[in-house]
Amino acid sequence: MIVVHRSRSFPGERCDEIRIYQNAFTGNNDGTYTRPGIGYLTGEIEDMYIYNNTFTNVSPAIYAYSGNFKIEDNVFVANKPLNIDSSLKTFIRQEATAIIKNNTFYASSDSTIETGIWHNNGKQSEYVNNIICLNTKSNNSYAHPLYVLKGTGDLPTVFYNAIDNPNHQNRIYWDGTKYGVADLSGWRNAADAGALFVDPFFKDAGKGDFSLFGSSPCILQNRTLGAYQNTDIFPSPKDLRTIK
């Protein structure tokens, strides 16, 4: 569902607010879907709220180009090769101001996705309580679950993000500095004091169940990382088995 408040249809006019929630975005079965699931390229958006959605084999799933974004409680999944160029091998391409919170990102070893969040020139953003679990094989600089390039913008504030990338040592690219699987303490000292480099213990990622086992290291005393376990949302963003 998309809700637009006080929007105008004239070029260059402001759209005050858009809400996108409880949708399932899917790419083509042959892996050739290359346009964003949610893209914004022209005009002005004051506030964009994107929550409780699932994105499957869409890259980028969200292209946040301009305005203020709040992206929360979504599940992003890629489990097949996608015919996309290197600049699109990401779930979120972020060039705006954004709060990205409590999302689950997962790419299987069959996927061509190389980045969960690609921050390039983004402004005054926060990335909090996300789980980013990829299976990249590439050695290029983009192939990091979290890729941040300050450019003409700002470095984001990051809190309690869990990163896993079992097929490669890459974890974070932070404006020229790379943090691998052995560099957790350095990453905590540099930016994310609550960061985890761990297997999140999804119940059955291969079958689309991204809920967490009770023993998951992503279930902390005062917070749970990843998408919320909302049972009142259909289809539940925690369990893609409900999406046909």
Beta strands per DSSP E along 108-208: 115-120, 123-128, 131-133, 146-149, 157-159, 162-164, 170-174, 177-180, 196-197, 202-204
Give domain status of residue 1, yes or no: no
pLDDT score at 24: 84
List, in order, residues 6 or more apart from 29 with CB less than 8 Å away.
none
Amino acid at 19: R
Look up the domain containing 28 and give its range. 23-242
| Per-residue pLDDT reduced to its tens digit, 48-104 | 899 988 888 888 888 888 788 999 999 999 887 776 665 568 888 888 899 999 999
Give domain status of residue 12, yes or no: no
Give domain status of residue 217, yes or no: yes
Which segment of 20-29, 74-83, 100-109 scores lowest on mean pLDDT?
Answer: 20-29
**Total count of domains within the chain:** 1
Task: Return d(Cα 122, Cα 117) in angstroms, integer.
Answer: 11
Give domain status of residue 79, yes or no: yes
Give domain status of residue 197, yes or no: yes
pLDDT band at 173 (very low <50, low <70, confident <90, very high): very high
pLDDT at residue 15 greater than cutoff 50: yes
pLDDT score at 86: 59
Give domain status of residue 129, yes or no: yes
Percent of the chain whose pLDDT exceeds 70 = 77
Give domain status of residue 36, yes or no: yes
> How much is the average pLDDT of 162-169?
92
Count of residues making up the chain: 244
Which segment of 37-46, 85-94, 114-123, 155-164 scores lowest on mean pLDDT?
Answer: 37-46
